[in-house]
Amino acid sequence: MAPVLDQRGHREPDARSGDGDRDAGENKGAASGAPDWSARAALATFVVYLVVAFFVLLLHFGEGHWFAGDEWGFLVGRSLSDPIGLLTPQNQHWSTVPIVIYQVLYALFGLDSYLPYMGVTIALHLTLVALLRVVMRRAGVGPWVATLVASIFVLFGTGEQNILLGVQISMVASMVFGLVQLVLADHDGAWNRRDWFGLAAGALAIMSSSIGIPMVVIVGIAVLIRRGWRAAALQTIPLGTLYVVWYVSQRGVLSQSPTGSADVAGIAGWVGTASVAVLDGLTPHPAVAALLVVIFVGGLALAWLPFDRDRFRRTAAGPAALLVGSLVLTVVIAFQRLALIAFAGPDIPRSSRYIAMATALALPALGVATDAVVRRWRWSAPLVAVVLLAGIPANIEAFSNAELFSTAEFQQSQRQFVLAVAASPLLREVPRDVRPDPLVYGPDLVTVGAVIDAVDQGKLQPATDVERAVRDKAEMRLRMSQSGFEAPLATASDCTTYREPLVFEPARGERFVLDGGATLSLGRDDGKYGTPIAYGSATAGNVITAQFDGMRIRVTPPGGQQTFIWCEPL
């Protein structure tokens, strides 16, 4: 049967074969007006850049990093043979996919090297970059423009948490699988094998983190634009149902307290701050940022306003849905995290992981806008390239200006502490459920039992060459553990405010309440005391338990304070 031509002489898509995809950018050389050799050269350049960037990120910027934060939740108390543990949420997220990946890596590499774990996150980040370029090419963006715009996100130090922190495998995986679903579902014609694969990718997205839900919404918007409500419903409703089933099954584990805030003004302020942060991440130079806004807004007007409904449907669905999704994701995060501003500060909306996600979702639209400007005014290409590339030096520098828990120095201090705990002769003399250091966000997930199991299985090699202060901290933390929460005792006589050091000899099993912070040090045989170790945190618990007899403990005010409050044994 001869192909059907529209009034402009273009072939109409064949609903049975899905040939309409080619008109949306699969024939990339023709769609962009670039010769095949040029498109191939752009692709080859991009691939080489990604390969080089992988090793630069892993071996240079990732040097010294180690396990931190919720990353321990993928390792401790989980097992590939325990389906319940694989489905149990991690920090309120459905995290089956990252848990499985971490359990496989743990079985293969143990805890002695962090490179395999970080390598997976970096690989996912670069896969995300590649998929963003695919979306641009399918929208008709030229090969070199798509390469340029996608490349600025490769060494995006502003979003370094989503590149170098292993725990962010969850959110990055959700975005990767969500984009895979978007690309597979972005076609004309009837439901076919691509859609089934897309649904599978969407399921993996929601099984990686809660970010999978906004990604499914984005896919729904794109498919609604491209193929109508029936196809959109088929791509989203089964996934929404799957998530609801999981959520209901885990309701006893998930937090029952509301975490969201309906403060419209606060959410608007969060969105405004985050939007400025995205722009700052792309370029810190105000004049260049102004030019970038002009290119973005003006370019999208040039690209999309002339489109009729059919052409917009077939070329703009992906970038437009992702752009809307960037705003939706920011609003959702603001709703969930707005309360954090009260005690974490007003810069929370500028957190690295949030800015990375919002920027990634907006990049395809930036690619469309840039391509439209360059096509309209060829002479502007060098200027546009300078505007896009101007932020790369600052982003490279941003890798060395990471937030505290993201720095290699902080993570190495945690590594030394865990290795010192593993080497301590006291390790097997305390209960397995003791958490050696609940003060730090993350190691509170690490129990004595988990350390013992890792050592016994050959997954962790204890270290004896750590600094004396670190060994003292490990010994003190094992002798006087901190956990749980108890209200200060009822009467004033039960708690005393001390200005001078308190020295006492607790019996094994005695429990005390620390109302605020203090430092504890262990008495030695020569009458002196070891390194003072800080106790007390808003999230660490306030119950101090003596794990041994025959100790002499001195309690003093924490650094910078004149007093501490110590309550009698429970």
Question: At which of 405, 428, 458 does a domain end?
Answer: 405
Show Cβ contacts of residue 102 under 8 Å, excluding neighbours closer than 6 positions: 71, 74, 75, 78, 117, 166, 169
Show Cβ contacts of residue 146 under 8 Å, excluding neighbours closer than 6 positions: 42, 133, 136, 137, 367, 371
Question: At which of 370, 386, 405 does a domain end?
Answer: 405
- Tokens 């999309």 belong to residue: 304
Asked whether 415 and 467 are in contact (CB, 8 A), the reply is no
pLDDT (tens digit, 0 to 9) for every residue of the chain, 570 residues total? 444 444 333 444 443 334 444 444 444 444 455 678 899 999 999 999 999 999 999 999 999 889 887 888 898 888 898 888 899 888 888 999 999 999 999 999 999 899 999 999 999 999 999 999 999 999 999 999 999 999 999 999 999 999 998 889 999 999 999 999 999 999 998 999 999 999 999 999 999 999 999 999 999 999 999 999 999 999 999 999 999 999 999 887 776 544 555 678 888 988 999 999 999 999 989 999 999 999 999 999 999 999 999 999 999 999 999 999 999 999 988 888 887 776 667 888 888 999 999 999 999 999 999 999 999 999 999 999 999 999 999 999 999 877 766 788 888 888 888 999 999 999 999 999 888 876 555 555 788 999 999 999 999 988 878 888 888 899 999 999 988 777 665 444 578 889 899 999 999 999 888 888 889 999 988 888 988 988 876 556 788 899 999 999 999 998 778 898 888 776
Look at residue 284 and tell me if it is in a domain: yes
CA 495 – CA 265 distance, rounded (Å): 42
Residues 212 and 71 in one domain: yes
CA 171 – CA 52 distance, rounded (Å): 24
Per the structure, how many domains does the chain have? Answer: 2
Look at residue 39 and tell me if it is in a domain: yes
The reported pTM is 0.88
Question: At which of 405, 425, 441 does a domain end?
Answer: 405
Give the residue numbers spanning the domain of 466. 407-567
Residues 180 and 323 in one domain: yes
Look at residue 434 and tell me if it is in a domain: yes
Degrees to nearest 5, angle at CA 367 with 316 and 326: 70
Structure tokens at 422: 């593993």
Residues 115 and 179 in one domain: yes
| Distance from the Cα of residue 246 to its chain's centroid | 21
Look at residue 218 and tell me if it is in a domain: yes
Residues 411 and 481 in one domain: yes
Give the residue among 479, 351, 469 at the shortest CA–CA distance from 413. Answer: 469
Radius of gyration of the CA atoms of the chain, in A: 27
Structure tokens at 8: 């402009």
Residues 120 and 150 in one domain: yes
* Backbone region of residue 33 per phi and psi (left: phi > 0; alpha: psi in -120 to 50; beta: other values): left
Residues in the chain: 570
Residues 423 and 364 in one domain: no
Residues 155 and 204 in one domain: yes
Look at residue 32 and tell me if it is in a domain: yes
Residues 82 and 115 in one domain: yes
Look at residue 7 and tell me if it is in a domain: no
Residues 468 and 395 in one domain: no
Look at residue 10 and tell me if it is in a domain: no
Look at residue 288 and tell me if it is in a domain: yes
Asked whether 533 and 519 are in contact (CB, 8 A), the reply is yes
The torsion of the CA quartet 419, 422, 425, 429, rounded to 10 degrees, works out to 140
Residues 398 and 412 in one domain: no
Residues 401 and 418 in one domain: no
Residues 401 and 411 in one domain: no
Q: How far lies 567's CA from each of 382, 478, 515, 556, 562, in Å? A: 69, 21, 7, 14, 17
